[in-house]
């Protein structure tokens, strides 16, 4: 497959299909199958990063794994400028707040995943601040990012 087209100062993303997210989130899905799916997403993210066009070194890649909203899980390729200081998942707006998890536990430890050299893993805790966004089932949760180090 060809590398996806990413406009200058642009973005490309590929979400987990909705029916796939329902299957992954089911309590009937074995942990081994979940691990295999997540490892495949990690491997495909690495593949895209390694196969960036030589003339597009402004591109960065990451995999975002959202356990509460599986359909938000996605691979992203985005353009950065020369002032880019590296990936930071910490953010806050009027609706949500994401803070970096500082524990020794990681997604890798829990599932026994393999993170390729040159990629880093960062966990965040998302807190929903707008009561209208909160429902009985979803109150925010952990989001994991597997991304390029540079």
3 assigned to some structural domain? no
107 assigned to some structural domain? yes
pLDDT tens across 90-146, in order?
777 777 788 888 766 677 888 889 999 999 888 888 877 666 655 555 566 788 899
- Nearest CA to 65 out of 27, 133, 111, 102 is that of 111
Taking the C-alpha atoms of residue 146 and residue 115, their distance in angstroms, rounded to an integer, is 8
The residue range of the domain holding 126 is 11-148
108 assigned to some structural domain? yes
If one counts the domains in the chain, the total is 1
Give residue 20's pLDDT: 64
89 assigned to some structural domain? yes
pLDDT tens across 21-76, in order?
677 777 888 889 889 989 999 999 999 999 999 999 899 999 998 877 777 889 99
String of b and e for 113-150 (b: at least 16 CB within 10 Å)? beeeeebebbbbebebeeeeeeeeeeebeebbbbbbee
């Amino acid at each position: 497959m060809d590398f996806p087209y990413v406009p200058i100062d642009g973005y490309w993303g590929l979400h987990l299909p909705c029916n796939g997210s329902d299957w992954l989130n089911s309590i009937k899905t074995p942990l081994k199958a979940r691990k295999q799916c997540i490892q495949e997403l990690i491997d495909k993210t690495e593949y895209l990063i390694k196969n960036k066009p030589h003339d597009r070194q402004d591109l960065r890649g990451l995999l975002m794994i959202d356990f509460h909203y599986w359909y938000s899980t996605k691979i992203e390729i985005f353009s950065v400028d020369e002032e880019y200081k590296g990936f930071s998942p910490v953010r806050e707006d009027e609706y949500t707040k994401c803070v970096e998890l500082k524990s020794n536990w990681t997604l890798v430890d829990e599932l026994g995943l393999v993170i390729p050299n040159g990629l880093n893993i960062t966990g965040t805790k998302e807190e929903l601040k707008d009561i209208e966004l909160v429902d009985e089932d979803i109150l925010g949760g952990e989001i994991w990012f597997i991304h390029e180090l540079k």
